[in-house]
Amino acid sequence: MTYRVTYDEVEVGDALPPWSRTTAFMHWNRYAAANDEFVPFHMEDSAGLEAGGTGAFGMFNLRHTDHVNAVRDWAGDEAELREVGCQYRAFNYRDDVLTCTGRIVEKRVEGRVGLVRLELAVTNQDGAVVAPGQALVALPLSRAAVAEGGGAAEGGASRDRL
């Protein structure tokens, strides 16, 4: 079991560990290949300029990925990500340092799981929020509940009950 947190261990106001990346072509190109996103303004400075940037800029979808990764890394492999959303507010360029942070804004019990709502933000090295977001995560109620077979969802590994 790789629960990093359980519902009884977290409180409203708690912060997630920051999840950070320095953006670079090596990352963009891999993501472009995986997501079929070889759009000129992500690849060429001239196309980025034409699109209103100061050069080639990163994929907005990669900010969504930052949110997903930050939440997954905080909650652990066995938590259930039920919702993740974000807005795209600014371009990001090569060598930007983007950091996803978050905090718990609500928690409640629903059946055998604890639902935790998170407020998230990807911020650049200048402190500008480039992608605010939010998430809803299902956590096991406690480590004792995990030991007794109570997972984050309604029925362990059975996919039709997740």
Partner 1 sequence: MAADPNPEEATSRAAAPSLVTPEMEARRGQWGLPRASLPIERYDIRVWAISAYWPETPPSLYWDEEYAATTRWGGIVAPQDFNPFGWPVGARRDPDGGFSQPGVPAINGGQSDEYGVPLRPGDWVTERSRLQGWAERATRMGATVFVTTEVLWLNQLGEFVRRRISTNIRYRSDEAPSADAPAAEGASS
**Residues that bind partner 1 in the complex, under the rule CB under 8 A:** 1-2, 26-27, 30-31, 33-37, 50-54, 60-62, 64-65, 68-69, 72-73, 77-78, 80-91, 131, 151-153, 156-157, 159-160, 162
Least distance between partner 1 and beta carbon 136 (Å): 9
Which of 13, 24 has the CB closer to partner 1? Answer: 24
Least distance between partner 1 and beta carbon 135 (Å): 9
* Token pair belonging to 115: 């639902």
Q: How far apart are CA 16 and CA 70, in angstroms?
A: 8
Which of 26, 148 has the CB closer to partner 1? Answer: 26
Least distance between partner 1 and beta carbon 131 (Å): 8
Which of 28, 107 has the CB closer to partner 1? Answer: 28
Q: What are phi and psi of 114, to 5 degrees?
A: -110, 125
Least distance between partner 1 and beta carbon 145 (Å): 13
Which of 11, 40 has the CB closer to partner 1? Answer: 40
Residue type, 12: V
CB 124 within 8 A of CB 51: no
* Token pair belonging to 147: 């030991």
Q: What are phi and psi of 153, to 5 degrees?
A: -110, -165
Q: 113-123 and 129-140 as β-strands: parallel, antiparallel, unpaired? A: antiparallel
* Token pair belonging to 63: 């900010």
